[in-house]
Amino acid sequence: MQAGKDELGGAAGAGTDVAGTDVAGTDVAGTDWEYAPAPESRDVVTIAPEYGLFVDGEFVPAAGGEAFPTVNPATEEPLARVAEAGAADVDRAVAAARAAYERVWGPMPPAERAKYLYRIARVLQERSREFAVLESLDNGKPIKESRDVDVPLAAAHFFYHAGWADKLEYAGFGPSPRPVGVAGQVIPWNFPLLMAAWKLAPALAAGNTCVLKPAETTPLTALLLAEVCQQAGLPPGVVNVLTGAGETGAALVAHPGVDKVAFTGSTEVGKQIQRTVAGTGKRLTLELGGKGANVVFDDAPAEAAVEGIVNGIFFNQGHVCCAGSRLLVQESVADAVVDRLRDRLGTLRLGDPLDKNTDIGAINSRQQLDKISELAASGEAQGAERWSPPCRLPDRGYWFPPTVFTGVAQSHRIAREEIFGPVLSVLTFRTPEEAVTKANNTPYGLSAGVWTDKGSRILWLAQRLRAGVVWANTYNRFDPASPFGGYRESGFGREGGRHGLAAYLDA
């Protein structure tokens, strides 16, 4: 594995594989070939020292004057101080959203609403470099992912839903579907901008107004999106952004002025929210954790499958609710697939998230790093075999090497609990029936992947896998037109597509 040159110098000399194998392109004369650093410029984004809350179209300080820092997880360098919303701020934001809903956004002709969504989408595209750099700085994800996945998909979500705004009566929800009212939306830190878009775009298209609470460790792109709303001329109060910690989220979902709650995050907090909302008449959708099975048959195209395994679990450092964190590989090809996977992991580059060559960025927070480390240690303690490519981690920041566990039993914690990090648990199976049984042996039900040459087998498995999304010969593909969501401990409700709109309509 290659460590990318990082701005800390911690990975200096990186690019040379520590074990001396020649995965990194050592030529016959023994010269180490090195990728030249290709850092994206940080100058495209201006980070203010302090940020307020976005309420009623303006940035304002928190009523209690509280603020907290947000840091760059790759360097531990503080990026900015951000206002921490308390109960009074939640009141203010919900009141602003209610007023905007009743006076402006609700009564507005749908085709007019669509224009604002198109404008937001276009500004997102115009400012895409700025968003990508800011996202990588605040979250730690590689710039090639924020640039090529997060930001384009966020814009696509606004474009897609803009198209729906004036066609809702033809969407199959009856002749005149109505908005629900004020949506309280709480999002996690793994795809900060994209999750904001997933929440805001359908809600706005359907005629609702929003109060959004980004995660404590990644507030900056949601605040830049608030600025984009101003730039697009969105009427004040239609979108409000309240930064803060878990208490801010809890106050928002409990607020009596909220008609609909949408949450993405951990199953534990999802359950708390469900208890809070029970009996209030509020609408609720929960997009929670997962322990996705990526099922590889012996007839799968080997190279494509290995790429799919890598993408399934190492994309976004494995901070993905639908990650393919359990590899189920047919026993007859298990050794060959794992060998190929190890070779491939040796070529991944870990380091500076702003370097365009980087494949694996930083873990988002110290807390998350501790959780991943604890679960990985449990894997060893319970008897699984741990392997990572030779890799030097930067000295500062939060880092975890890509890790593969073999010899994993279904009872191991690493096979059952969501690790939310770059850690793959490998299990084997002999027959398709056994693959289905093992894949479904989880309290979750969000995602799965199937790799095989046979179309009939794909269909057979897709009918039996208990997962909201099943990818066939691919993994982690997203499209705004395609509904996404799970069941069982992965939550309920769908985001995206016609089904996602249903959550925001009273039909």
Residues that bind ligand NDP (CB under 6 A): 186-190, 213, 215-216, 245-246, 249-250, 253, 264-266, 269, 272-273, 288-289, 321, 368, 371, 418, 420
Other CB atoms within 10 Å distance of the CB of residue 148: 12
Nearer to ligand NDP, 91 or 307 (CB): 91
Cα dist from 422 to 149, 299, 359, 400, 447, whole Å: 18, 26, 12, 7, 17
Cβ at position 356, least distance to ligand NDP in Å: 26
Nearer to ligand NDP, 188 or 402 (CB): 188
Task: Give the up-direction half-sphere exposure of residue 15: CA atoms within 13 A in the CB hemisphere.
Answer: 18
135 is known as an active-site residue: no
Map tokens 């969000």 to a residue.
446
Which residue among the candidates 7, 84, 216, 287 is catalytic per the annotation? 287
Which residue among the candidates 210, 229, 321, 391 is catalytic per the annotation? 321
Nearer to ligand NDP, 187 or 376 (CB): 187
Nearer to ligand NDP, 334 or 419 (CB): 419
321 is known as an active-site residue: yes
Nearer to ligand NDP, 105 or 263 (CB): 263
Measured in residues, the chain has a length of 507
Q: Distance between CA 494 and CA 506 in Å, rounded? A: 15
C-alpha dihedral over 91, 92, 94, 98, to 10 degrees? 130
C-alpha dihedral over 16, 21, 24, 25, to 10 degrees? 120
Given CA atoms 47, 50, 53, 57 in this order, what sign does their dihedral have?
Answer: negative
What residue number has its CB nearest to ligand NDP?
A: 249
CB 24 within 8 A of CB 2: yes
Cβ at position 95, least distance to ligand NDP in Å: 20
Cβ at position 115, least distance to ligand NDP in Å: 30
Cβ at position 446, least distance to ligand NDP in Å: 8
Cβ at position 246, least distance to ligand NDP in Å: 3
Tally: H helices and E strands in the chain: 16, 22
Cα dist from 296 to 309, 345, 387, 465, whole Å: 9, 18, 20, 14
Q: Distance between CA 63 and CA 47 in Å, rounded? A: 23
Q: Distance between CA 208 and CA 122 in Å, rounded? A: 21
Given CA atoms 443, 448, 453, 457 in this order, what sign does their dihedral have?
Answer: positive
Cβ at position 158, least distance to ligand NDP in Å: 21
Cβ at position 213, least distance to ligand NDP in Å: 6
Nearer to ligand NDP, 6 or 216 (CB): 216
Nearer to ligand NDP, 265 or 401 (CB): 265
Where in the sequence numbering do the catalytic residues fall?
287, 321
